[in-house]
Amino acid sequence: MPRAISFRKRNRKGVQDMILRIENGSKRFGKNDLFDCFSCTFDFSKHSFYRVTGDSGRGKTTLLRILSSLEKLDRGEVEWILGEAARGGEQPRVSWMFQENRLLEGLSGIKNLSLIPSRYSFEEKKEFFAFLVGLENLDKPVSAYSGGMKRRLSFLRALIFDFSLLLLDEPSTGIDHENRVKMEEFLLSHIGKRPLIFVSHEDPILWKNYGVLKL
């Protein structure tokens, strides 16, 4: 029977002390075992950022989906040990940047951002948009954007949500060096001490001292 995530609170000081753990997890698609008796730990008191690497088909995206409850293990346990990541009795708030951009292409870029619950004002969202996507594109429909512009908008949308855990799946796909630097700068200036797990086949340019899980 598929196993759900368990949430356990203990007296930890902040979101940077959150721990995510998989114990003896197994996941099968058809006849293929993606994970078999797999265990891993993301201890955010040691690293604020974790990078997941591995060859294509090893289950990197599936791992993120399991951690965020979008997929369930066939066997095994997924546990979150929470500090202040859950306010009061709430479960932690996960923000995703998927491999697919999943934007509303008939709407403008700023309208896509306006639909996201956020602590940021409309004027702040415009400022962020201008930095990452370009102010001249603010009111254009997303369908008119280039692939790189859509990717940067998808990144920004994930960042403005009031999350306690951020998951980025290949965030720099189709992004040139200059815009990768902008994206990494923006994240460093806005994430604070909140945890990040990212999947990437490219080494980050500015992000340093992150933990690594190789599948």
Residue 64 or residue 92, greater confidence: 64
Cα end-to-end distance, the chain, whole Å: 24
pLDDT for residue 85: 43
Describe the chain by its helix, strand, coil percentages, rounded to 5: 30, 30, 40
The mean pLDDT value of the chain amounts to: 89
Nearest to 93 by CA among 160, 176, 2, 178: 160
pLDDT for residue 63: 96
Can you tell me the distance from the alpha carbon of 150 to that of 166, in angstroms, rounded to the nearest whole number? 19
Q: Does the pLDDT of residue 8 top 70, yes or no? A: no
DSSP of 20-47, one letter per residue?
Answer: EEEEEEEEEETTEEEEEEEEEEEETTT-
Strands (E), the chain: 5-9, 19-29, 32-43, 49-53, 75-82, 94-97, 165-169, 196-199, 211-214
Residue pair 169/197 in contact by the 8 Å Cβ criterion: no
Confidence of residue 31 (pLDDT cuts 50, 70, 90): confident
Give the mean model confidence (pLDDT) for residues 89-94: 72
